[in-house]
A and B are shown apart, each in its own frame.
Chain A
Amino acid sequence: MILVWGSVEDSPVARVIDELSAKAATFVHIDDNDLEHMSFNMTLGSPPEGWIEMKGRRMNISELKAIFLRPGNPLTARSARNAHVMLQLASVLPGVVLNRPAADLSNHSKAYQLDLISKSGFAIPPTLVTSDPVVAKKFLHRHNRLIYKSLSGVRSIIAIIDISRQDRLEEVRTGPVQLQKWIEGIDVRVHIVGEKWFACEIQSGAADYRYASVDGKAAELSNLEISTEVGRKIVRLAHYLNLPLAGVDLRRTPDDRWVCFEVNPSPGFPYYENATGQNIAGAIADYLIQDPL
Chain B
Amino acid sequence: MIVILGSQYDPVAVGLAKSWADAELCTAEDLVSPGWSWQVAENDQPTWVISGNTVPDKDVTGVFVLRSAVLPDELATIHQDDRVFMSSELRAFITFLLASTRALVVNPIVNHTFGEDSLRREWWVTFAKKADVPVYRKRITHLLNARPLPGVAWKVEVVGSETFSDAPESICKRAKKTAQAADFLWGIFSFNSRRSLIDISTGKMPSHEAAKALYQILKRGKQ
Contacts and interface: CB of A to CB of B under 8 A. Distances in A.
Interface in A57-86: 82, 85
Nearest to B85: A154
A257 interface: no
Interface string B185-216: 00000000000000000000000000000000
7 contacts: A91-B120, A102-B111, A108-B112, A112-B95, A135-B37, A150-B89, A175-B34
Interface stretch (A124-132, A200-208, A280-288): A124-132
Contact of A105 (B33, B112, B125, B139): B112
A125 to B, nearest CB: 9
B41 interface: yes
Given A131-B33, A153-B88, A174 B78 contact: yes
A102 to B, nearest CB: 4
A46 interface: yes
Interface string A123-148: 01011111111010000000000000
A39 B121 CA distance: 20
B123 A91 contact: yes
A114 interface: yes
A95 interface: no
Which DSSP category, helix, strand, loop or mixed, fits chain B's interface?
Answer: mixed
A221 interface: no
A290 interface: no
Interface in B83-103: 85, 88-89, 91-93, 95-96, 99-100
Given A131-B32, A154-B88, 16 more contacts: A38-B142, A43-B137, A45-B135, A91-B123, A102-B111, A111-B38, A111-B40, A111-B92, A112-B109, A115-B96, A118-B41, A126-B42, A128-B39, A135-B37, A151-B93, A176-B93
Interface of B: 31-42, 47, 49, 77-78, 85, 88-89, 91-93, 95-96, 99-100, 109, 111-113, 120-123, 125-126, 129, 135, 137-142
Dominant secondary structure of chain A at its interface with chain B: mixed
